[in-house]
A and B are shown apart, each in its own frame.
Chain A
Amino acid sequence: MTKKDAPPRWDRKMQQRLARGEAAALGELYDRFASLVHNLAHRVLGDERAADGITRDVFVHVWEHPEAYDPKQGPLRSWVATLTHRLAVQRLRATETAALAQGSGGSAEELERKVRRASVAARADYIVTSMPAPLRAALDLAYFQRRDYRQTAADLGVTEDEARRRLRLGLQLLATAHDAGAPGAPPGYGGAV
């Protein structure tokens, strides 16, 4: 479902229903967020089976601890994405560390770089799927469809000024994917995007 603008009311009600132990709510939660969770986990881990495992872990966690979500802190979607990110990066670090311990080559610095790269890429994915639709549409035209900004403006039916503004703003949002600080720091799945 493409319901990014679901009101916070939906988030609150969902949390209440999960807390009440309503299995139907768990199904709805899965239907809304499973793609997001699986794609993010896959971006970090690059492996289907591992992404399945993270998906299971994320939903188990939400189902067992619905009270851990605080609607005042932002949308449920961001919270689920942050949780996914944390669990996926944890797993990546664990598997890479195990591989390192077995002497399969590589260095601790390479490991950190790999974790950081995966982490930034996953955050960027999240930002792209969560940014306002007009910005995403402009980036899509200019990058994937290789339209220049004048063509982008024409395609979107906006002024050239507006097309330039959207491209710049979209990239500014995307650039925040780099801003999480050191690896392991909480990723910025804020409600702003």
Chain B
Amino acid sequence: MNDAGNADRFGHGGFDDEDAPGGRNGPAGEGGFGDLDDQGDRDDKDEQQEGYGIPGGPANGDGNDDGDDTGHGPGRPPRIPMPRASVEDGGRPLPTLEDLGVPAPQPAPLVLEHRVLKSLLGAWALAACSADETAAVEEHLGDCGSCADEALRLREAVGLLHQPESLDLDPGLRTRVLDGCLDRRPPRIPVPEWAAPYDAETARLDALLQDIGDAEWHAPVRLRWFEGEGPMTRRTTVAGVIAHLLSVDGLVAVALGMDDPLGDIAEADPTPRARTEAYWRTSHYPPNRSVRAPWRDQTHGLVRTASFINDSGPARPAVSYGDFELPLQDALLDRAFECWVHAEDIAEAVDYPYEPPAPRHMHRMIDLAARVLPDVLATRRRAGLASPPHHRHLVPAGEPGRSLRLEIEGMGGGEWLIPLDSPAAVGSAAHEVAHVALDGAEFCRLAAGHVPPAEAAAGQDGDREAIRDVLFAAAALSRM
């Protein structure tokens, strides 16, 4: 805690004797304005200065009250001199006389008019004047009541400057505070359940962005995903990742009738990757932290717009990702998952910790992956990337078919039966041919394309081909 109202520092400036005469903070008349001292609030005598002092030096001897030295009484801790180095110590060139604003040579004290001296008061209070100016100001304070009053007031104000507290807000506080509010007054327009993971994940990422410095926005990030048979990567920066999220979230925004963040950028191919590359390509400069505001505004807009969608109203059009589409609710869930995955990429790049989502949100994300897996499996099969179905004919729609039991362990986990031979088939315990067990976080890493399917730490039992196909399909859920 800094000391407030510490006018007493005003009155005793003679502590930093090591500040060589002729340095920036040259001789100051500690007695020259001691009469002001009595106006101060003395209740903080025991507090040490927080690394800030007033310009001082040996008393100039012509003060009117040299005895007013409240700061050096017995038992008082020594004042801490300002760590500011004098010019000589700092290795900087000595200021030329022109720098000091005086015509050379100038043996006489600097004489400045009242207007100029008054304008120097702020700099003087901050010890940011030249030695000559400091002396001139302090000389003046003995004669000019209005300047002396202001000088005291500004010097006190300096004592209120703190290093800004960089307290990182507990990311869990948001949910606790909002839940507490909504308990007290239930919302008439709630955030729908299916938008809650997106709301939470974007808030978590934004809190991380709040805490990183300007330079960290340019930290390199390697985007990783899985395509076909193998891993893919693309280099970008932290800001580039946010631009990526902005571009792809824009697909959902457009589906909801909001503005496209890509604006007029003509893009024939509305895939996430093409949109991102187009955004990166058309920026005039590499993305920097300025991308945060439009990204965050869009995330807020999405949650808000989603809140006004009546679940019992007309069906909303699906969100197209170019080569596939998802129902609106699933698309926003998918964006929540992507937000988490990329937040982890960023956290890793800037060496910050990052926690997994709330278990109930993670469960929804895993459930989405499990529901989409049969389609991905079928697509891969058509492309010759997965083994053909066991039956010559596809399982009729709605009928039980050969299934793999996917067991996800840990918080947010559960069990899903994945139909293997047709997306239209129904998973069936009676037709289970294989069983795979993974930790939830490991499954999400797999689905994010961050773990090669062959290396996923999965307990396996049953049809090896089916297991391989499903693990590869899970990795193929990932994209840039």
Contact = CB atoms under 8 A, between A and B. Distances in A.
Contact of A55 (B5, B177, B206, B303): B177
B119 A23 contact: no
A127 B214 CA distance: 23
A139 B259 CA distance: 40
Interface residues of B, number: 64
Contacts of B459: none
Contacts of A59: 177-178, 180-181
A149 B119 CA distance: 11
A87 interface: no
B41 to A, nearest CB: 9
Interface string B169-213: 110011011101110111111110000000100010010001000
B84 interface: yes
Interface string B140-174: 00000000000001101110111111010110011
A172 interface: yes
A34 interface: yes
B473 to A, nearest CB: 35
Interface stretch (A78-86, A96-104, A116-124, A184-192): A116-124
Nearest to A55: B177
A147 to B, nearest CB: 7
B190 to A, nearest CB: 5
A35 to B, nearest CB: 6
A22 B300 CA distance: 12
Interface string B386-417: 00000000000000000000000000000000
A139 B161 contact: yes
A171 interface: yes
B99 A27 contact: no
B4 interface: yes
A31 B189 contact: no
Interface residues of A, number: 63
Contacts of B182: 23, 26, 63
Given A24-B300, A27-B199, A3 B293 contact: yes
Instruction: Output the residue of B5, B177, B293 with the most chain A CB within 10 A.
Output: B177
Nearest to A174: B157
Given A23-B187, A26-B187, A39 B167 contact: yes
Interface string B1-16: 1111100000000000
Given A121-B162, A142-B123, 11 more contacts: A21-B189, A23-B178, A23-B189, A24-B199, A30-B174, A31-B174, A59-B180, A148-B128, A169-B122, A170-B122, A171-B154
Q: Which 5 A-B pairs have the closest CB atoms?
A: A168-B122, A21-B188, A167-B122, A124-B160, A23-B187
Interface of B: 1-5, 24, 43-44, 52, 83-84, 99, 119-123, 125-126, 128-130, 153-154, 156-158, 160-165, 167, 169-170, 173-174, 176-178, 180-182, 184-191, 199, 203, 206, 210, 292-293, 296, 300, 303-304, 306-307
Interface of A: 1, 3, 20-28, 30-31, 34-35, 38-39, 42-43, 46, 48, 52, 55-56, 59-60, 63-64, 113, 116-118, 120-121, 124-125, 128-129, 139, 142-144, 146-150, 152, 161, 163-172, 174-175, 177-178
